[in-house]
A and B are shown apart, each in its own frame.
Chain A
């Protein structure tokens, strides 16, 4: 039974791991910290997996656990905020098929997101991942209306940073 569960978890997680990588990129500033957070998220996902009933999508549940770990459980990243070496991020997202302009935009986007607070990061991340306000408010545990207000502020802040 345990083996079955483990197998399913590993398959689901390996398939969806890119979500966790994106979250690690916005919450950490070095390759070491990235791996560190990735590991902690993996531990938390596995620990909570028996409680995952499958009444929501695996990825939805994954967003929640991964963001929660980054915001509330992980503390090593705080020391290195704002010292991001963007080549660290750049090498990770470099691809021949990827448009140059978009690559520049993506770098600028990551740079700006790094300057947001932990909560704002989560909001912007969920927005970029096309999540509905319903899902965002449920993930963060705030009302739908408040999620909208907070989101608009975070977006304004981001826009000002991207286009001063």
Chain B
């Protein structure tokens, strides 16, 4: 007889839990607030959308508009912002649909895939935003150089490009680290488990 069979018998004969939870307690529990990672992903996701879209409130729009005019970037700013809003809308809808689609009645693998996909939607939105920031920085640098071409010497241009590059990399770098951290803490266990299941399917 297999050694596990003995243990299985012990398992089957184990008594019921001494501390049974009463109907009243179960009712209370069922209506309490969840602290699952899916909920955290949703909250953090919403926060990210809010934060990225409220950055504009901290800038002086009139001043910014004057600068766009000076640099001849009015159209660039207008069109990219329309595109950015369309993309924001797309990501918000996708995020919500993916989130709604998460169901604990799914199989373990499907559930994990859906959670990761929801999280990835927000991450992609953030990546898009970082790309957008980088693009705006580059266009502004080029436009500034173009407008002030006559007043600037080679050294000043190089300095300007250098400073803008460092600034851009710094922002992107900090954001990247921040993301690795949130992502890491929240999804480490889930990703490990998902890999374990997925690895098996590939073997």
Contacts and interface: CB of A to CB of B under 8 A. Distances in A.
Contacts of A163: 3
A17 B103 contact: no
A72 B36 CA distance: 9
A97 interface: yes
Most buried by A among B10, B31, B34, B37: B10
Interface string A5-35: 0100111011001100110000000000000
B54 interface: no
Interface in B179-196: 186, 189-190, 193, 196
Contacts of B110: 141
A105 B7 contact: yes
Given A93-B14, A109-B7, A162-B3, A149 B200 contact: yes
Contacts of B15: 93-95, 97-98
A48 interface: yes
Nearest to A96: B15
B60 interface: no
B62 interface: no
Nearest to A112: B7
B201 A146 contact: yes
A143 B107 CA distance: 12
Interface residues of B, number: 52
Nearest to A130: B12
A152 B28 CA distance: 40
A143 B106 contact: no
Interface stretch (B19-27, B82-90, B135-143, B145-153): B19-27
A64 B123 CA distance: 29
Contact of B111 (A38, A61, A68, A109): A68
A44 B13 CA distance: 28
Nearest to B115: A72
A128 interface: yes
Contact of A43 (B12, B29, B109, B197): B29
Contact of A65 (B33, B105, B200): B105
A4 interface: no
A49 B197 CA distance: 26
B9 A72 contact: no
Specify the main secondary structure of chain A where it touches its partner.
helix
A9 to B, nearest CB: 8
Contacts of A48: 103-105
B112 interface: yes
Contacts of B30: 9-10, 42-43, 45-46
Contacts of B14: 22, 93, 98, 102, 106
Most buried by A among B7, B33, B186: B7
A40 B106 CA distance: 17
B32 A43 contact: yes
Contact of B104 (A11, A14, A69, A119): A69
Interface of B: 3-4, 6-23, 26-27, 29-38, 103-112, 115, 186, 189-190, 193, 196-197, 200-201, 203
**Closest 4 interchain pairs by CB?**
A141-B107, A141-B109, A46-B30, A95-B15
Given A42-B26, A102-B9, A143-B201, 12 more contacts: A14-B20, A14-B22, A43-B32, A78-B189, A93-B14, A93-B17, A94-B15, A98-B14, A106-B10, A119-B193, A146-B200, A159-B3
